[in-house]
Structure 1
Amino acid sequence: MGFLIAGLVLVGLLSLLNLLLILAMARRLRTPGVLTTARAATGPVDRQQRRPGDRVASFSGRFDGTGLVAFLSPSCPPCQELLPEVLAYARAAGPRRVLTVVVDDDEDPVKVAEEVAAFDGLAHVVVARTGDELTGTFGVDAYPAVFLIAADGTVVMSGHDLAGVPRPARVA
């Protein structure tokens, strides 16, 4: 009889521990930026994210030739780490060859404005939301997301950093 009671107590304690771990994990995932950071660190999660060879909508008036499209979120730590590289690329390529999409999903308006201001004169900047037309066109649901687009709208490169992107020639 003593073994039965000890077994029930042990099962009860293990169940309680399991419940506490599940609640801790749920709280961690609800923290802003954690899920986005986890997705970005492991690579593309969405099977619909555009890949090399895919075609996207026309960017007439926004790009000359090949263009870089970077989706960044002010609350995303990997985005903030990538920001200086995107700015350096924009300085070298010129504003008509870089489209920066600042994702504003109920972010701090000051942070969004600072990120937009960082690209002033360096790139064409669009403020978008997850799930809107632009992020939907590219199938983006994790940040940062970077695409190199050819003049005909074909995706040449996609990823979460600028590792595979050739450096542009300096513009005058």
Structure 2
Amino acid sequence: MPYLVAAVVVLALVTAINLLLTLGVIRRLREQPDRAHGGNAPSGAPPTALRPGARPEVFTAITTEGEQVSDSDVYGLVGFFSANCTPCHTLAPLFAEHARTLGRDRVIAVIADTDAELSAILAPVARVIVEDYDGPVQAAFHNTWTPAVYLLGRDQRVVASGGRMTDLFSEAPA
């Protein structure tokens, strides 16, 4: 019987230590998004990799219409979408609405995986690139999240970024 009591006590101590360590890990994980944005992003904001002032890396890609696009062509609006992403399907019409005001040559839409619905919405107003999640444009923007939208200035630097169209205009300078 004393061995059984000792085993239960040891098991209880190990469980308590495990619980404390798990709570510590959870606490650190909750702090992580704020550090990823330099401490100035709202909690829960999507992790867009390029923040204002950054430039995308060098890339070359082919649109669905066979047009070659490179980093030197990027000026205006860039959006990243995914076929299996419900928020992407919600954002696409808003993205297209704003893209119409800029003109098709100033808008790039990158779709991870082929999606006829997204392509139908975006193709009339943007140069559409379909590529894997590790494709050249995704890599150039260090993009790991969909939807993600970027507004780039004439110097190809990010003016604003986020996961919603309102993120672009709340950050963009007047």
Q: Structure 1-normalised TM-score?
A: 0.62
The count of corresponding residues between Structure 1 and Structure 2 is: 129
Q: Give the corresponding residue for 1:20.
A: none
How far the C-alpha of 1:91 sits from its partner, in A, is: 2.2
Q: Give the corresponding residue for 2:147.
A: 144
Q: Residue deviations 1:130-172, cap 9 Å, x none?
A: 1121100000111111111112211111111111334xxxxxx
CA RMSD of aligned residues (A): 3.0
Structure 2 gap ranges (5+): 16-43, 59-70, 170-174
Provide the secondary structure at the position in 1 that maps to 2:109. Answer: strand
Q: Give the corresponding residue for 2:165.
A: 162
Q: Give the corresponding residue for 2:87.
A: 78
Percent of pairs identical after alignment?
A: 33
Mapping for residues 94-109 of structure 1, pairs under 5 Å? 94-104=103-113, 109=114
Provide the secondary structure at the position in 2 that maps to 1:59. Answer: helix
Q: Give the corresponding residue for 2:36.
A: none
Provide the secondary structure at the position in 2 that maps to 1:134. Answer: helix
Q: Residue deviations 1:34-76, cap 9 Å, x none?
A: xxxxxxx54207xxx111111124332xx5xx41000000101
Q: Give the corresponding residue for 1:27.
A: none
Write out the 4+ residue segments of structure 1 that deviate beyond 4 Å after TM superposition. none
Provide the secondary structure at the position in 2 that maps to 1:165. Answer: helix
Taking the aligned partners of 1:68 and 1:55, their CA distance within structure 2 comes to: 13
Q: Give the corresponding residue for 2:120.
A: 117
Q: Residue deviations 1:65-112, cap 9 Å, x none?
A: x410000001012212211211111222221121111111xxxx5xx1
Q: Structure 2-normalised TM-score?
A: 0.61
